[in-house]
Structure 1
Amino acid sequence: MTTAEERLPESTRIASWLRDAILDGERAPGSRLIERDLASEFGVSRVPVREALKVLVAEGLVELRPHTWAIVREFTEADLADLDEVRTVLEPLAFRLAAERHRRDGLARLQESLELEQSSALAGEGVAARRAAADFHEIVTDLTENMLLGDMMRAIRSRLRWALSQHDDLQHVSAEHVELFDAIRLRDGDRAAELAAAHVDSSRLERIAHVEAQRTGAVRTTALDGPDPIDR
């Protein structure tokens, strides 16, 4: 644990640990989160555990049940359709504004996250690649310098990261992020918005393929063709 983490409230640290465990697939949908057990696991009282669970409920990752326990949420097709509709509106705007308003230091942060995503995808490191992909989207929101849009995107951040975790073809995702990065770098807002809309649709199709692969037990190993890794 880093010094910065040690300074955080216990409930914030526990929420972060549980969030990562859920989004990285360590705690499966439908699994129980029992206050007593979590308190013992983290070496704390039940109070910060209870507060952490409330945070995750607000983020849409956990559902409370009576008598001090909760479950990891199972997202329905309706849940995901709602998310796609919101992303279709917000993400093209975010990428357009990021292209028009980004600063040099912000672009450097975005490139760093993209390079980590690419290297992790090539190495088959799924958790690291998916986390970097989520970071890419969050940094884009920062580059917009629009506080209201930032608040709206943060409201769906955990659900978006969960949706990204349902992708098997990680190199395809990173290839699309390369195109988006280039549009932002070139300050081409129209192109960035167009690519972002296509990216949301691609994400939906990728998620459907993931669900089908799980249902049939198939293993998806073929990456779709895409742009070469960035070399700036």
Structure 2
Amino acid sequence: MVTARQAVYVTLKERIIEGDLHPGQRLIERDLAAELEVSRVPVREALGRLEAERLVVLVPRQGVLVRPFTPADVEDFFDVRESLEVLAARLAARRAGADGLTALRAVLDQADEAARRRDARAIALANAAFHTTVVTSSANALLIDMMRPLEARLRWLFRLTHDDPEQQCAEHHELFAAIAARDDAGAGEGMLRHIRAGRARSVELAATWTTVDPVAVTRTRRRRTTA
């Protein structure tokens, strides 16, 4: 049974990732609680979990807002990805078992189908799942734990950028081929090229994602009203 706490957390997380709540937007507990028809307690707890995932930020004595995703944030994120995901790809090529390869094949099929339907949400889900499954297939528990908090942010990035689905699918198929062939060097090089290919455009687009001053937003006392 899904609890109110879990339902509120999932709902707010999806609204952030899908862009309904945009980077820099102020989040007001009482408004969210009224909208979701819950008390403020599960909303407060959900915001705490989202802060740990770096999807929202708390400005002391000011308020909570959807975390800005600035060009500098994107640069930092890609720096981390270029190190950890490349390592994950190399390890996956060495260590992925039959179950890991089957899981990778399954998310590739999901991405292909989503691309054929031009379903942007499903494409982002499947592409993020591919990267997550590569990490899981590395069979490195420490690496998996380090990457887990970044999973939501990766999917958020994919939703904000709307990369070419056909190109993404083609590059993922190439990565899968290298992993399945146990070509650790090829898998690492392929992952590095894949990540770098989207870096410049993501940084450019990030300049448009947060159009307000986050601190100024938290200082406002305006509340949404209902009709």
Interval containing the TM-score (normalised by the shorter chain): 0.7 to 0.9
2:71/2:203 contact within 8 Å kept: no
SS in 1 for 2:22: coil
Report the TM-score when normalising by structure 2: 0.83
Q: Where does residue 143 of structure 2 map in the other structure?
A: 149
Pick from 86, 95, 98 the counterpart of residue 89 of structure 2. Answer: 95
Pick from 126, 130, 134 the counterpart of residue 128 of structure 2. Answer: 134
Measured in 2, the distance between the counterparts of 1:46 and 1:212 equals 33
1:106 pairs with 2:106: no
SS in 1 for 2:23: coil
Unaligned runs of 5+ in 2: 210-227
1:50 pairs with 2:40: no
Q: Where does residue 27 of structure 1 map in the other structure?
A: 21
The amino acid of 2:136's aligned partner reads D
Q: Where does residue 167 of structure 1 map in the other structure?
A: 162
1:34/1:68 contact within 8 Å kept: no
2:92/2:179 contact within 8 Å kept: yes
Cα deviation, residue 210, structure 1: 4.7
1:14 pairs with 2:8: yes
Supply the RMSD in Å over aligned alpha carbons: 2.1
The amino acid of 2:194's aligned partner reads H
SS in 1 for 2:101: helix
SS in 2 for 1:156: helix
2:93/2:183 contact within 8 Å kept: yes
SS in 1 for 2:136: helix
Pick from 61, 67, 73 the counterpart of residue 67 of structure 2. Answer: 73
Measured in 1, the distance between the counterparts of 2:27 and 2:98 equals 43
Cα deviation, residue 145, structure 1: 1.3
Measured in 1, the distance between the counterparts of 2:186 and 2:116 equals 26
Cα deviation, residue 204, structure 1: 0.7
Report the TM-score when normalising by structure 1: 0.82
Measured in 2, the distance between the counterparts of 1:85 and 1:162 equals 17
1:35/1:68 contact within 8 Å kept: no
Q: Where does residue 191 of structure 1 map in the other structure?
A: 186
Measured in 2, the distance between the counterparts of 1:136 and 1:35 equals 34
Q: Where does residue 227 of structure 1 map in the other structure?
A: none
SS in 2 for 1:44: coil
Q: Where does residue 226 of structure 1 map in the other structure?
A: none
Q: Where does residue 222 of structure 1 map in the other structure?
A: none
2:71/2:207 contact within 8 Å kept: no
Measured in 2, the distance between the counterparts of 1:137 and 1:71 equals 27
The amino acid of 1:100's aligned partner reads R
1:57/1:64 contact within 8 Å kept: yes
The amino acid of 2:177's aligned partner reads D
Measured in 2, the distance between the counterparts of 1:211 and 1:65 equals 21
The amino acid of 1:30's aligned partner reads G
Structure having greater relative contact order (Cα 8 Å, sep ≥ 6): 2
Measured in 2, the distance between the counterparts of 1:125 and 1:206 equals 21
2:57/2:66 contact within 8 Å kept: yes
Unaligned runs of 5+ in 1: 1-5, 215-232
1:202 pairs with 2:197: yes
Measured in 2, the distance between the counterparts of 1:211 and 1:68 equals 24
